């Protein structure tokens, strides 16, 4: 793939983890993993498409705000395009007053002004990619924040999830942050917008892919190869779910979709 990637080390504790700019100079197909993070994205050029690999639901891949995702997605761009993105903390949309947005997109204007989005596009047009990314981060940094004890305790739990790469039970996680399992489930639904088990599963799937093929852009063929190995390995169902975050039937369905849908365009 003909991509140029710039990572920008801009950080706002509890909301922004980093920013980036990707210039796609040719048609692109890639797998996006559900890494538990949200995204504020500005697309300069024609929008592509995002297809949920598990459900098959498709939507435009354009400018917008989303919370964390729980399924892998297939991104396709058929033309040259520039994407400016801000990777958000899992709790960022809640902290920024937009509520939990798991697997949900909203217009970017719900969080930053149209003037900011226009200025980002202008920066990109004149080659000022880092300035464009920092402009988005600066706009987020001044948005009023929502805080609270329960929100803070869930944030502590999510740090443990990252440290243990999602391979932690609800009971182990509760003990690590001195909370009850019922507290964690309640906080997850309220602040992440997703069941705790689905969040952990998404993180485990992401870790599996990144351990096998690395970070950055994920080639469809490589991801399919990793999943094919797990399907053929004959692990017990419980072990498959513990390692991949997917039940065996879901794992096969994801592999089938990657193979059947993507292979004709590769």
pLDDT digits (tens, 9 = 90+) for 13-61: 999 999 999 998 888 888 888 889 999 999 999 989 999 988 889 999 9
Higher pLDDT among residues 243 and 87, named by residue: 87
Rounded distance between C-alpha atoms, residue 157 and residue 173, angstroms: 7
Q: How far apart are alpha carbons 116 and 222 in whole angstroms? A: 37
Among 87-91, 237-241, 248-252, which is the least confidently predicted range? 237-241
Paired tokens of 152: 């803070």
CA distance 91 to 113: 21
- What's 35's DSSP letter? -
How far is Cα 194 from Cα 176, in angstroms, rounded to an integer? 21
**Alpha carbon 197 to its chain's center:** 17
The pLDDT-based confidence of 214 (bands split at 50, 70, 90) is: low
**The CATH number of domain 3-141 is 2.60.120.10:** yes
Q: Is residue 194 classed as helix, strand or coil in its secondary structure?
A: coil
CA distance 129 to 125: 9
Q: Which of 71-80, 88-97, 161-170, 221-230 has the lowest mean pLDDT?
A: 221-230
The structure tokens listed for 110 are 């719900």
Residues pairing with 49 in the sheet: 60, 76
| pLDDT, mean of residues 232-256 | 77
CA of 170: how far to CAs of 37, 113, 210, in Å?
20, 39, 23
Give 76's strand partners. 29, 49
pLDDT at 265: 43
Strand order in the sheet with 64-66: 3-8, 16-24, 81-88, 38-44, 64-66, 105-106
Mean pLDDT, to the nearest integer, of 168-195?
A: 95
pLDDT of residue 263: 52
Phi and psi, residue 26, nearest 5°: -150, 165
User: Which two tokens mark 135?
Assistant: 């402009």
Which pair of structure tokens corresponds to residue 67? 């919370």
**pTM, rounded to two decimals:** 0.88
pLDDT at 150: 96
pLDDT of residue 215: 67
Domain ranges in the chain are 3-141
């Amino acid at each position: 793939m003909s991509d140029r990637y710039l990572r920008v080390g801009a950080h706002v504790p509890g909301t922004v983890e980093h920013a980036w700019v990707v210039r796609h100079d040719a048609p692109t197909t890639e797998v996006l993993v559900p890494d538990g993070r949200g995204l504020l994205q500005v697309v300069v050029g024609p929008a592509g498409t995002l297809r949920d690999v598990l459900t098959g639901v498709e939507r435009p891949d354009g400018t917008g705000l989303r919370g964390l995702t729980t399924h892998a997605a297939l991104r396709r761009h058929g033309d040259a395009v520039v994407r400016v993105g801000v990777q958000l903390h899992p709790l960022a949309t809640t902290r920024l007053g937009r509520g939990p947005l798991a697997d949900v997109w909203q217009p970017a204007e719900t969080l930053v002004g149209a003037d900011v989005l226009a200025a980002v596009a202008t920066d990109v047009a004149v080659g000022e990619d880092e300035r464009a990314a920092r402009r988005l981060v600066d706009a987020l940094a001044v948005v009023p924040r929502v805080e609270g004890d329960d929100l803070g305790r869930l944030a502590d739990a999510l740090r443990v999830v990252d440290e243990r790469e999602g391979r932690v039970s609800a009971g182990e996680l509760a003990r690590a942050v001195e909370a009850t399992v019922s507290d964690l489930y309640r906080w997850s639904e309220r602040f992440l917008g997703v069941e705790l088990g689905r969040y952990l599963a998404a993180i485990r799937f992401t870790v599996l892919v990144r351990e096998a093929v690395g970070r950055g852009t994920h080639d469809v063929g490589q991801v399919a190869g990793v999943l094919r190995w797990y399907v053929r390995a004959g692990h017990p169902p419980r072990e498959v779910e513990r390692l991949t975050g997917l039940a065996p039937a879901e794992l096969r369905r994801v592999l089938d979709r990657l193979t059947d849908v993507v292979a004709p365009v590769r």
